Chain A
Amino acid sequence: MITTEQLKHWYTEMLRIRLFEDKTQELFLRNLVQGTTHLCQGQEAVSVGVIAALEAKDYVTMTYRGHGQALARGMSMDGIFAELMGKRSGVSLGLGGSMHLTDARLNMIGCFAIVGAGLPVAVGAAMSAKLRGDGRVSVTFFGDGATNIGTFHEALNMASVWKAPVIFVIENNLYGEYTPMRMTAPIDDLAERAQPFRMPGVVVDGNDVEKVYATATEAVARARRGEGPSLLECKTYRHKGHSRTDPGKYRPEAEVKAWLARDPLIITGAKLREAGALTDDEDEQLRSEFNAQIDAAVELAQAAEAPTLEDARQNVYAR
């Protein structure tokens, strides 16, 4: 049973991610974050719900749209903003950027900008846990588009054959970059792709953090019991475009409108209000507190130094 307190914590986490991403978008438009950035507004419940089902020892791998998972797992906001702004104080010394957020202390062992590349790595980490018998599981986040690439099928197959304790989480936001999923896959529910590999494939409302948490908890428990991998399809929606300045104009207006009404913050916020656990004033207060934290982190990052060529040189090879 999920307590109101838990739900409220998840709400505040989702809110924090939302405000972080809004600021990231602003920084990108002001050219303070350069290159590219992939925002996750609208998908926060997936990150928060799945991460909540994990223990600190578990492994997490993710993709270029990974800010939400990084924050939900507890990665330092100062460190992420600094990374986004290419600073030496960034979580990856400013050498990685928006698409490569990792943190060894949080067992966030990989963040990949090649579609599908994280799945085999997650299976490898799961096998390490299995060989040591340390009870860890490995969770890997990826988008709907990744289910069309070879490594998805190869990794599910290998994980199943080896009974690897891994949870494959599809964040199905209905678009592989700019192209609707219905044009690139012959099925509606990507969770069906678990069946040939003889593992559970579950569809879940990815905008409902409680449901995401409950489903992830079950998959994690199964993996920890040594029963092998699961595939979770979290149906969700990207409020913004794919990346950079993409306004997402290729999406039908009615579709966008319907999904905006199903905003995870609205869904969970309504439940909390109904339970008398959240007021508009309190919500405003939370927002201003987070915005103050965010502004402070951005200020810190702006003042930080850039990495040097020597930093770059020193981090190509391990000694």
Chain B
Amino acid sequence: MSTLAETQVGAQAETRELTYREAIRLALEHEMEQDPTVLLLGEDIGDAGGPFKTSEGLLKRFGSNRVFDTPIAENCFVGVGIGMAVTGFRPVVEIMFADFLAVAFDAIVNEAAKYRYMSGGKFAVPLTIRAIGGGTGRFGAQHSQTAESWFTGIPGLRVVAAATAPDAYGLLRSAIRDPNPVLFFEHKGLYVRKAEMTTGERGLVPIGKARVNRLGKDVTVVATLLMVERSLAAAATLAEEGIEAEVIDLRTLHPMDLDTLRRSVEKTGRLVTVEEQPKPQGWGNAVIASLAEAGVPFKAPPVRIALPDIPLAYSPGLEDAMLPSPASIAETIRQLVRGGR
């Protein structure tokens, strides 16, 4: 006889085409049906189904003891999530725009991240914080940041960024099961992307592993979120010119999968990082520093493709120009490989 949980797990397994948005929603639904301690908290996530519809129908299905609309008070409801997490629940908190993580910075950096440590290991904080970030939406400077690097230097946190629908599903389920606070970054420009994917237990994706999306011998391109597909598009263009780029989706920013990056750069000798954050504090800095420190032999100085040291602009043409595009990524790689840089 199978248990109820096993029956549910069996029912979750399927192969089908889903959008990134549907994958997020389904990951929440599947974790909620499997684990009654999983709760959702956030602004407008109940009847409204979330500003990006990632919790559509979940209030109806699981009820108001599982799905909580919160006041607009990020620092507080992240703290409330921490309190629930240390007393037996596994809350998933939604931050409507990743930019608003700044409002909750204290709860995340001083409380959630250090809770276990300061108690000498007595408490675990199984809290997932979903943050919806990224440009292309014409949202201006306070609603467009991806913000993942704000948290990569904080011991106690895990930082995850999903670039595809299968990863959104698999990484989110892993994040919810993780006994530590996990910052889970989504990109609003990716919500409509579709992919064939496996759901259920086999669809889980481990935290801490980068993925090589395309093999190549000439240059390693490391990217996150929307920049992964743009890097792949650039690589496709370059392949026609005889430049073979290896494209890696970093997926977890903390802890970083340096082994995968190192193996790739040892093969290619060239490194380009592509991200949607201002260059001074991008995660590309840590990638390059870590590989340099590890003694990886570079044939040419590594290159960072990132946003200029300017907040993202509203004006559509200007926003587009500030974000790395397949063409601009391709051009930078071309110059690097051909020795023009």
Contact = CB atoms under 8 A, between A and B. Distances in A.
10 contacts: A61-B83, A109-B87, A121-B111, A124-B79, A124-B83, A132-B88, A162-B68, A315-B120, A318-B116, A318-B180
Contacts of B179: 317-319
Nearest to B69: A161
Interface size of B as a range = 35 or more
Interface stretch (A149-157, A224-232, A248-256, A258-266): A149-157
Interface string B165-189: 0000000000000011000000000
A151 B79 contact: yes
Interface in A42-96: 59, 61, 90-96
Nearest to B85: A124
A181 interface: no
Interface in B23-47: 39
B2 interface: no
A96 B39 CA distance: 29
Given A104-B122, A124-B83, A125-B86, 11 more contacts: A90-B120, A102-B119, A111-B118, A121-B79, A124-B85, A128-B87, A154-B73, A317-B116, A317-B156, A318-B121, A318-B179
B122 A102 contact: yes
B111 A157 contact: no
Interface centre among A59, A114, A117, A124 (most CB of B within 10 A): A124
A128 to B, nearest CB: 4
6 tightest A-B CB contacts, nearest first: A124-B83, A120-B79, A93-B120, A154-B76, A92-B120, A318-B124
A154 B121 contact: no
A125 B83 CA distance: 5
Interface in A101-142: 102-104, 109-112, 114, 117, 119-129, 131-132, 138
A151 B110 CA distance: 14
Contacts of A126: 83
A316 interface: yes
A120 B117 contact: no
Interface centre among B83, B117, B118, B121 (most CB of A within 10 A): B83
Contacts of A202: none
A150 B71 CA distance: 13
Given A114-B110, A129-B87, A151-B75, A95 B118 contact: yes
Contact of A120 (B39, B75, B88, B125): B75
B84 interface: yes
A61 B82 CA distance: 12
Interface string B62-78: 00010010110101111
B80 A120 contact: yes
B159 to A, nearest CB: 13
A103 B122 CA distance: 8
A125 B106 CA distance: 18
A103 B89 CA distance: 19
A128 B117 contact: no
Contacts of A31: none
B82 A127 contact: no
B308 interface: no
A270 B126 CA distance: 50
B107 A120 contact: yes
B76 A100 contact: no
A195 interface: no
B81 interface: yes
B155 interface: yes
A158 B65 contact: no
B83 A123 contact: yes
Interface in A275-319: 312, 314-319
B117 A315 contact: yes
B269 to A, nearest CB: 34
A114 B105 CA distance: 12
Interface in B213-228: none
B119 to A, nearest CB: 4
A120 B76 contact: yes
B71 A158 contact: yes
A316 B155 contact: yes
Interface centre among B68, B118, B123, B156 (most CB of A within 10 A): B118
Contacts of B86: 109-110, 121, 124-125
B120 A95 contact: yes
A32 to B, nearest CB: 20
Nearest to A140: B83
Interface string A186-197: 000000000000
A127 B116 CA distance: 21
B75 A150 contact: yes
Interface string B108-140: 001100011111111111100000000000000
Nearest to B179: A318
Interface in A157-210: 157-158, 161-162
A158 B106 contact: no
A155 B111 CA distance: 15
A172 to B, nearest CB: 22
Contacts of A92: 118-120, 122
A161 B77 CA distance: 13
B84 A119 contact: no
A35 to B, nearest CB: 13
Nearest to A92: B120
A267 B106 CA distance: 40
